[in-house]
A and B are shown apart, each in its own frame.
Chain A
Amino acid sequence: MSGPGRSARLVELVGSTRLDEVFRRKVRQRRWGVTLVTLGVAAIGFWLFSDILGSTGWSPIKVLELAVFSVLFTTLSFGFTQAFVGFLVLAEGHEPLKITNTLDEKTPLASTAVVMPVFNEDVGTVFGNIRTLYRSLQNRGELEMFEFYILSDSTMPERLVEEEVAWADLCRQTNGFGRIHYRRRKVPVNRKSGNIADFCRRWGHRHRYMVVFDADSVMTGDSVASLVRLMEVNPRAGIIQTMPKLVGSETLFGRIQQFASRLYSPLFAAGLNYWQQGAGNYWGHNAIIRMSPFLASCSLPVLPGREPLGGRILSHDFVEAALMRDAGWEVWFAYDLEGSYEGLPPNLTEYIKRDRRWAQGNLQHVWFLLADRVQPISRLHLIQGILAYSSAPILVLFIFLGGIQAAIDHFRGHASSIPLASAIVLALLTLLLLFGPKGLSLLHLFSQPDLLRRFGGAKRALAGVVMETLFSILTAPLLVWFHTRFVLKNISGQKVVWNTQTRGAGAGPGWVQTLLEYWPVPVAGVFFGILAWWISPLYLLWITPLLLGLWLAIPIAQLSGRSAVLRKLFLTPEEIDPPRELSKSEPLQLRAGDQFVHAILDPFYNAIHVALQRRRARTPELSEHTAGLADKLFREGPAALTAEEKRALLSDGPALAKLHMLVWKTPAEKMNPFWVEALRAYRNEMPIPVGN
């Protein structure tokens, strides 16, 4: 039966009691299929490697090596199988079992909150992205059912002033007062998940759904409205996750990631949906959540023990999906829904910093593998998340065991007696699993001339894949190095600091900074090289591709943040022809310079900030404290106050209003030179000097 024919058959089944049964059987078949292919390929690898190892006799090291190899190879096999299945799905051109098939544009919308938790993020990006969606929904005439919440956990005084003014400016520009909301938590308990939980506690009953954004998420009105409609027609869906496309990168690293994701992800996404169906996962943003089950079932437990592996959960998304599934709701992946975008770290250093947070968060999920009431597929998602980082130390262990065994074999003269045929087949199979998805993605791209043109044409797409492959070969050992460090640090009890992610371009680290951060990597690479040479020159040759990345760590990290490199390669459809929603046409009317100083000098900044402070009786001690801070600020300038003192002062609206008047009406000779200079700069429309 053809694709559309099968779909028609499914439509016929809708409403009949057989649909559920047919659906379940189909999903079961798919899952068995994927499992069998994965295990089949893994078994071939296992057999070939055991043939190689066993040729010179067995030893405890070899048994351990085979066990470690099995874990790594099965992971690899699973990834390949998913991509292969995805390729078949896309090649056929029709997938009857995907949630977007149920989309009906006539379905009425329901009350939905668009929530964006932020933590010291770039204000222009945050509010610009909200405005994009706002305008997009407005243009569709579907704004009525949506409200927008910017949920700030920001701690930098200047950032929270800027956020307030940006909120007011955005509301003024869009006439969005009463529809675009801004809330700042004074104490950011439990980070992002705590921020969302706080929103749920405050306004959980106000909306039927919430669409969760990251600070760099952009979604079109079309995609968000479609998500709401999908929720409405699928009453068992608790979460629907979209597949955000990476956009907006200017640096080499960002553009390579953007290109790779845009080209390879569709296969993996289609393959993922093929087997997971309604047992999908949640990635924390660009997704819609049904409020009632989320409130009832998805509040995060506190894990046994202390951080980093216990305590409060850092990576909440996978766990929330598991809790939603446990409560009997479905989690779907709308992988082909257009209009969902996100940004990414601009360079390797920022990417690694982000990984450090994610590594700790994912490692905490080990507890859920041993928890009661977690569905098997949810456990699989959690395992995948854990392996995303712990596979690095497993790989290091594999190389370490291989090194010891190579040394033993070398000194006992066994090196030349391995079965060459098995070794060659295993090497080819490994290469197939590693690079096969890239080839299949290219094949899929070449079968779509229109899309190929939007990737810059055949030559550029091909060259892009070659260069991206080389880059990933060089960066993979670096990531292994850092992931191993992160995992070992977490296991030994060291936790991560929650830093703001740098998202924009132009944040490339300098040579000195790169050198300070990366110097142990090439040093270790040289040491391993000497060790490998001592074991055997052949062994050194064997592991050179791994060591190359370590040796070149510093120039790679430095190059990754450059913008003007290989601009003609790594083109994506969104870069060549950006969607209307991604172009920033209405800049916010914010002053440049120190926003904390603006809160005192600028009459509008000051008024907005003061007006937004909660009017409540302050204790005499507190008022005295902030009055003292205001006095210190006036006499000594902003550099005299710590960030905490600035925050304390900002929380006292009347004191700030008085300070505003005081600065403006004090003659120059009676004022700290900082304020005189700040007023002069203000007059000349120049950026205000930075206070600290």
Chain B
Amino acid sequence: MAISPEYLGLLRSSISSAPEWKEAWERTNDYLDALRIPADLERELMLLTSFEQAIARKRKEPSTSATELAFDEAQKALDATLGNLISGKVPVDRRSVEERVRLYLIQPTQNSRLSPRSRLSDDVLEALREVRLEAHPRLQQAVIAPRPFALNTAGERLAALAGKFSFLGSNRILAWFLGLCFVGLLIYMSL
């Protein structure tokens, strides 16, 4: 169905005149900005169509907020637009996440000319559908078992000796007392 410019103008003015719908318009627009979708005519048309649907739904669901309705409809429109980027096997509750991942991957970077608006070749689309964001490769496991720690003969003797004096470590007052006695004795013997 062709939409006339007069109809679009009317729709826009009614959205901006109702505070509830104005907030919904701003919020949905912000979301599309966050998705870095260029603010062009195509986006404007998609938004207006979403709002038309949302306004129609509002009559049936008066208790649902305009923002929620508009956002849901915009999300449906996004699903329809970005649906070709993901595999049909993706579960419904996962579609938005997978769409956003792909949208992120085709954002222009210093070294990439891809963009959401660029015409993607069939090969790229195919590759995008198969993409699965994996942060690490498949496991190629190895065994790494610590070797037991073993003291040599001198070490064992020393450890045994240290064990005999371990009571000093557990009683600080006694340790200080014995230490000071030792220093005192040392001084006395050196006088």
Q: A576: CB under 8 A from chain B?
A: no
Not counting A181-B136, A682-B30, a sample of 15 additional A-B residue pairs whose C-beta atoms are within 8 angstroms of each other reads A59-B189, A295-B143, A297-B147, A301-B147, A302-B149, A367-B155, A372-B155, A404-B187, A586-B110, A589-B109, A603-B103, A607-B101, A611-B98, A653-B97, A657-B94
Q: Name the residue of chain A whose CB is nearest to the CB of B93.
A: A654
**Surface stretch bound by B, among A422-430, A440-448, A661-669:** A661-669
Known: A172-B107, A182-B136, A297-B147. A667 touches B67 (CB 8 A): yes
- Cα A476 to Cα B136 with chains together (Å): 45
Known: A203-B139, A205-B142, A303-B149. A607 touches B100 (CB 8 A): yes
Judged by DSSP, the binding face of B is helix
The residues of B that contact A470 with a CB separation of less than 8 Å are: none
Residues of B participating in the A interface, judged by any CB pair closer than 8 Å: 20, 23-24, 26-27, 30-31, 33-35, 65-68, 71-72, 75, 93-94, 96-98, 100-101, 103-105, 107, 109-112, 133-137, 139-152, 154-156, 158-159, 169, 172, 183, 186-187, 189-191
Q: Name the residue of chain A whose CB is nearest to the CB of B26.
A: A683
Q: A616: CB under 8 A from chain B?
A: no
- Cα A332 to Cα B30 with chains together (Å): 58
Q: A408: CB under 8 A from chain B?
A: yes
Which has the most chain A C-beta neighbours within 10 Å: B30, B103, B104, B159?
Answer: B104
Chain A window 175-214, contacts with chain B (Cβ cutoff 8 Å), 1 for yes, 0 for no? 1001001110000000000000100111111100000000
The residues of A that contact B72 with a CB separation of less than 8 Å are: 665
Q: Establish whether residues A172 and B66, one from each chain, have CB atoms under 8 Å apart when the complex forms.
A: no
The residues of B that contact A682 with a CB separation of less than 8 Å are: 30, 34
The residues of A that contact B110 with a CB separation of less than 8 Å are: 173, 586
Q: A106: CB under 8 A from chain B?
A: no
Q: A486: CB under 8 A from chain B?
A: no
Of the candidates B35, B66, B134, B140, the one whose C-beta lies within 8 Å of that of A667 is B66
Within the complex, what minimum Cβ distance (angstroms) separates A468 from chain B? 37
Known: A204-B142, A408-B187, A682-B34. A603 touches B100 (CB 8 A): yes
Q: Establish whether residues A61 and B187, one from each chain, have CB atoms under 8 Å apart when the complex forms.
A: yes
Q: Establish whether residues B148 and A301, one from each chain, have CB atoms under 8 Å apart when the complex forms.
A: yes
The residues of A that contact B66 with a CB separation of less than 8 Å are: 667
Of the candidates B27, B137, B149, B169, the one whose C-beta lies within 8 Å of that of A679 is B27
Q: Establish whether residues B159 and A304, one from each chain, have CB atoms under 8 Å apart when the complex forms.
A: yes
Within the complex, what minimum Cβ distance (angstroms) separates B96 from chain A? 7
- Cα A491 to Cα B168 with chains together (Å): 11
Within the complex, what minimum Cβ distance (angstroms) separates A203 from chain B? 5
The residues of B that contact A173 with a CB separation of less than 8 Å are: 109-111
Q: Establish whether residues A372 and B152, one from each chain, have CB atoms under 8 Å apart when the complex forms.
A: yes
Known: A370-B154, A372-B152, A682-B34. A175 touches B111 (CB 8 A): yes
Q: Establish whether residues A168 and B104, one from each chain, have CB atoms under 8 Å apart when the complex forms.
A: yes
Within the complex, what minimum Cβ distance (angstroms) separates B1 from chain A? 27
- Cα A371 to Cα B148 with chains together (Å): 11
The residues of A that contact B134 with a CB separation of less than 8 Å are: 178
Within the complex, what minimum Cβ distance (angstroms) separates B100 from chain A? 3
Known: A370-B159, A493-B169. A62 touches B190 (CB 8 A): yes
Chain A window 20-64, contacts with chain B (Cβ cutoff 8 Å), 1 for yes, 0 for no? 000000000000000000000000000000000000000111101
Q: List 5 A-B contacts (CB under 8 A).
A: A59-B191, A60-B189, A367-B151, A370-B155, A602-B34
The residues of B that contact A586 with a CB separation of less than 8 Å are: 110
Which has the most chain B C-beta neighbours within 10 Å: A664, A666, A668, A670?
Answer: A664
Of the candidates A297, A603, A668, the one whose C-beta lies within 8 Å of that of B31 is A603
Of the candidates A197, A303, A369, the one whose C-beta lies within 8 Å of that of B144 is A197
Q: A149: CB under 8 A from chain B?
A: yes
Of the candidates A205, A304, A666, the one whose C-beta lies within 8 Å of that of B141 is A205
Chain A window 602-623, contacts with chain B (Cβ cutoff 8 Å), 1 for yes, 0 for no? 1110111011100000000000
Q: A119: CB under 8 A from chain B?
A: no
Of the candidates B67, B133, B150, B151, the one whose C-beta lies within 8 Å of that of A608 is B133
Q: Establish whether residues A371 and B150, one from each chain, have CB atoms under 8 Å apart when the complex forms.
A: yes
Of the candidates B20, B26, B149, B189, the one whose C-beta lies within 8 Å of that of A301 is B149
Q: Establish whether residues B141 and A201, one from each chain, have CB atoms under 8 Å apart when the complex forms.
A: yes
Q: Establish whether residues A204 and B140, one from each chain, have CB atoms under 8 Å apart when the complex forms.
A: yes
Q: Establish whether residues A608 and B20, one from each chain, have CB atoms under 8 Å apart when the complex forms.
A: no
- Cα A455 to Cα B20 with chains together (Å): 67
Within the complex, what minimum Cβ distance (angstroms) separates B17 from chain A? 17
Q: A501: CB under 8 A from chain B?
A: no
Of the candidates A200, A300, A667, the one whose C-beta lies within 8 Å of that of B65 is A667
Q: Establish whether residues B96 and A657, one from each chain, have CB atoms under 8 Å apart when the complex forms.
A: yes
- Cα A64 to Cα B140 with chains together (Å): 57
Q: A492: CB under 8 A from chain B?
A: yes
Q: Establish whether residues A172 and B104, one from each chain, have CB atoms under 8 Å apart when the complex forms.
A: yes
Q: Establish whether residues B33 and A683, one from each chain, have CB atoms under 8 Å apart when the complex forms.
A: yes
- Cα A202 to Cα B143 with chains together (Å): 9
Q: Name the residue of chain A whose CB is nearest to the CB of B30.
A: A683
- Cα A491 to Cα B179 with chains together (Å): 14
Within the complex, what minimum Cβ distance (angstroms) separates A397 from chain B? 11
- Cα A203 to Cα B141 with chains together (Å): 5
The residues of A that contact B65 with a CB separation of less than 8 Å are: 665-667, 670
Q: Establish whether residues B104 and A371, one from each chain, have CB atoms under 8 Å apart when the complex forms.
A: no
Q: Establish whether residues B146 and A203, one from each chain, have CB atoms under 8 Å apart when the complex forms.
A: no
Q: Establish whether residues B151 and A61, one from each chain, have CB atoms under 8 Å apart when the complex forms.
A: no
Among all A-B residue pairs, the 5 with the closest Cβ atoms: A370-B155, A204-B142, A607-B100, A59-B190, A665-B71
Known: A173-B111, A295-B144. A203 touches B137 (CB 8 A): yes
The residues of A that contact B98 with a CB separation of less than 8 Å are: 607, 611
Q: Establish whether residues B104 and A604, one from each chain, have CB atoms under 8 Å apart when the complex forms.
A: yes
Q: Establish whether residues A299 and B145, one from each chain, have CB atoms under 8 Å apart when the complex forms.
A: yes
Q: Establish whether residues A182 and B111, one from each chain, have CB atoms under 8 Å apart when the complex forms.
A: no
Q: Establish whether residues B155 and A164, one from each chain, have CB atoms under 8 Å apart when the complex forms.
A: no
The residues of B that contact A200 with a CB separation of less than 8 Å are: 142, 144
Within the complex, what minimum Cβ distance (angstroms) separates A339 from chain B? 24
- Cα A405 to Cα B191 with chains together (Å): 9
Known: A201-B141, A665-B71. A612 touches B111 (CB 8 A): no
Known: A61-B187, A370-B158, A664-B27. A610 touches B139 (CB 8 A): no
- Cα A464 to Cα B97 with chains together (Å): 57
Q: Name the residue of chain B whose CB is nearest to the CB of A292.
A: B142
Within the complex, what minimum Cβ distance (angstroms) separates B102 from chain A? 9
Q: Establish whether residues B149 and A367, one from each chain, have CB atoms under 8 Å apart when the complex forms.
A: yes
The residues of B that contact A612 with a CB separation of less than 8 Å are: 133, 135
Within the complex, what minimum Cβ distance (angstroms) separates A52 from chain B? 16
Q: Name the residue of chain A whose CB is nearest to the CB of B36.
A: A604
Known: A182-B135, A612-B135. A492 touches B71 (CB 8 A): no
Q: Establish whether residues B190 and A295, one from each chain, have CB atoms under 8 Å apart when the complex forms.
A: no
Within the complex, what minimum Cβ distance (angstroms) separates A348 from chain B? 30
